Amino acid sequence: MSSSDERAARGTDAGAYQAPLTAAHFAPRYWGSWLLLGLAWVLQELPRPAVRVMARGLGRLIRRLAGRSRVIAERNLELCFPELSPAERAQRLEAYYRYQAQTVLDYGLLWFGKPGQHAARIRIEGLEHYERLRDAGTPVIILAPHSLALDYGGVRMSQMHDGVSFAKPMKNPVLEWINHRSRTRYSGDIFAREQGLRPAIRQLRRGRFFYYLPDEDLGAEGAVFVDFFGVKKATLTALARLARMSKAAVLPSFAWYDGAADQYVMRLWPPMDGYPSGDDAVDARQMNVAVERGIEQAPAQYLWSLRLFRTRPDGEASLYPDRRR
């Protein structure tokens, strides 16, 4: 059954949040946003070599203007890759902004691309792991780290199979409308993080995959401190709890841009073995190991500007420079 057939059979979940287009979206204050959408449409129609050249220039500009987020990215790379020299970390940071620019310039593919373009420009590796579990009737959670190409993998996966995810609505209603439209274009629904795990459990039991992003530092509540690239990180325990309650298998994944093929890639690995174990620290570390393995596929394409180590164990000083400096 295709994703569109699955969606027709299930319909849109009443609990999912919606982002309909209204007359308010066309107010003068949002005209700049509409110009941005028009530019995105033009970019996805341009020859690919031209877009890739633009990405290099835009990446340098983003890096120059990044300010505080660049400081955070530099610090994260220093903490996670101490074996690299300062010059090597600088090269990785430069690549990070180049890939960030590439994914931004390519958003027109997600917003306006035709189904055939999505199939040609975004490939899924390891899909057999998901299909084997699905055919056996096993609920599936896809562990999706915050990579720069995160949305590309999610859209392509939803083109083939029916799934759901959580998201934080964007403040700009025009961008929220187009983003929500692309994420739910083929199948699936989007729920707000504040709704908790119940919607995810309900959808997993209905046979839909759950595209879950649990790798942010959201504070000490509901988290344990375990290693992430050798640094203690407040790691959420919700993934293990969700897998236990839904009896779901967890498939690690990572999405990135393959410059040689000019394609976006999402790789799925086999389900995490013996997960969950019942030990929060063991399970959290196993999740972090899976995220680390994904990052190793394309080390410059993780969202390094996240404050990954914002929360510290009692008595430990902050790992990031004071905002007032």
Provide φ and ψ at 16, rounded to 5°: -75, 145
Taking the C-alpha atoms of residue 149 and residue 121, their distance in angstroms, rounded to an integer, is: 12
CA 54 from centroid of its chain's CA atoms? 23
pLDDT tens digits along 225-254: 999 999 999 999 999 999 999 999 999 999
Taking the C-alpha atoms of residue 283 and residue 277, their distance in angstroms, rounded to an integer, is: 6
> How high is the pLDDT of residue 325?
52
DSSP state of 172: S
Name beta bridge partners: 166: 191
Residue 267, SS3? Answer: strand
- Residues 142/167, Cβ–Cβ less than 8 Å: no
pLDDT tens digits along 59-74: 999 999 999 999 999 9
Given a cut of 90, whether residue 10 has pLDDT beyond it is: no
Confidence of residue 16 (pLDDT cuts 50, 70, 90): confident
Question: What's the whole-number average pLDDT of the chain?
Answer: 93
The structure's pTM equals 0.92
The residue extents of the domains of the chain are 3-301
pLDDT tens digits along 125-147: 999 999 999 999 999 999 999 99
Provide the residue type at 10 as one letter.
R
Strands 231-236, 223-228: pairing kind: antiparallel
> How high is the pLDDT of residue 1?
43
Longest alpha-carbon distance in the chain:
56
Given a cut of 60, whether residue 8 has pLDDT beyond it is: no
